[in-house]
Amino acid sequence: MINIKTINVGLLGIGTVGGGTFKVLQRNAAEISRRAGCPIHISVVADRNLALIQEVTGGTCRMTDDAFSVVADPEVDVVIELIGGYGVAKDLVMAAIAHGKHVVTANKALLAVHGNEIFAAAQAKGVIVAFEAAVAGGIPIIKAVREGLAANRIEWIAGIINGTTNFILSEMRDKGLSFATVLKEAQRLGYAEADPTFDVEGVDAAHKITLLASMAFGMPVQFDKAHIEGISTLQATDIEYAEQLGYRIKLLGITKRTAEGVELRVHPTLIPTKRLIANVEGAMNAVLVQGDAVGSTLYYGKGAGAEPTASAVIADLVDISRMHTAAQENRVPHLAFQADQLVGLPILSIDEVVTSYYLRLRVQDKSGVLAEITRILAEANVSIDAMIQKEPSEGEEQADLVLLTHQTREKNINAVIAQIEALAVVDGKVVKLRMETLG
């Protein structure tokens, strides 16, 4: 009879996702073992809170508050890093690799910023760094892009990949509330952190789309070149106008391959309401991938939470258990393309991006105003696709004018906006939002 070796796992961090991982692995042990071809056992857990380890595990594994002792432990085959952040997490991952351990991580920030160094170290040491849980929680989008769509030249990816912002935008649309009001509610319900900056300013989504872009186009991770805008300045008025025009506003991570380079951007985006992704509500995530052979494919599900994220962590454990004995050249590459085949594609500046735009102007209620604005647009070869011209409220002398443009380059629309804002009949700043048809 063949002796099947147990895969011994060292778990770093027993918080929300760590606790979920331990519970799912314990609950579904038999099923997971049947898939993996061997038992997978968490043999040691490291966390500063030893009482929490005892509470979650019931004392069924070794406990320590020294994570570095785990990555150096010769009995540990795989290290799961669920600590987060760029600091000690990076040191632990690099130490685990140096000790010949395979690594599973949900740390999108670490990989987006230091992924090139981490993947190179893993390649040199012949170990696997798996990170399905780093993007879109329980949705298996990494495996889809890296393996399921391997036959395709991927053209673009657009994703709702931050549940906090999607919850906020859904509530703002449904209830007509301000960003600040909904943010407080999101914090009360646990959808938003006490410090929500990474989520609401688009940084978390940028980490994720950076990783997807690298796997889609076969290039090193280049987070520092991503254009990032959040939703903190978005107004309920613009969400309402977008609805009237047949659009929903979502915070999208977008990456596109163009003849000039790769677009890598995160910002609030108007999407036609007829698109499935426009109807993703609450804290759910969805990623739309366009391939030349398959066309559009949509991946939808829970992007966060203890057990959805644990689902992805354990899927990585199963993959490692299947592949760890394979020669390195027969394993799935970290970024989908063979390491020596990655190419340094240029990332386009946001000024060079071509898309359509939503513009909202506060204008004086005088004859000739619209003619003046359309003249500026026409001279810049920017054509209007749709328009809303509101009557001024009683007692007011200004009204909103909303324009949707056809496609133009960002630097062109910025030049147009500067001219419009200089008009005496226009009050304040023009609100500009980008639009994507995703067709």
How far is residue 391's CA from residue 309's CA, in Å, rounded to a whole number? 49
Chain mean position to CA 113: 14
In the residue annotation, 208 being an active-site residue is answered as yes
- Look-up: residue for tokens 């969805």? 286
Query: Which of 208, 250, 256, 302 does the annotation list as catalytic?
Result: 208
Q: How far is it, in rounded angstroms, from Cα 410 to Cα 292?
A: 26
Q: What is the 3-state secondary structure (H, E, C) of the chain?
A: CCCCCCEEEEEECCCHHHHHHHHHHHHCHHHHHHHHCCCEEEEEEECCCHHHHHHHHCCCCEEECCHHHHHCCCCCCEEEECCCCCCHHHHHHHHHHHCCCEEEECCHHHHHHHHHHHHHHHHHHCCCEECHHHCCCCCCHHHHHHHHCCCCCEEEEEEECCHHHHHHHHHHHHHCCCHHHHHHHHHHHCCCCCCCHHHHCCHHHHHHHHHHHHHHHCCCCCHHHCEECCCCCCCHHHHHHHHHCCEEEEEEEEEEECCCCEEEEEEEEEEECCCHHHHCCCCEEEEEEEECCCEEEEEEEECCCHHHHHHHHHHHHHHHHHHCCCCHHHCCCCCCCCHHHCCCCCECCHHHCEEEEEEEEEEECCCCHHHHHHHHHHHCCCCEEEEEECCCCCCCCEEEEEEEECCEEHHHHHHHHHHHHCCCCEEEEEEEEEECCCC
Question: Catalytic residue positions?
Answer: 208
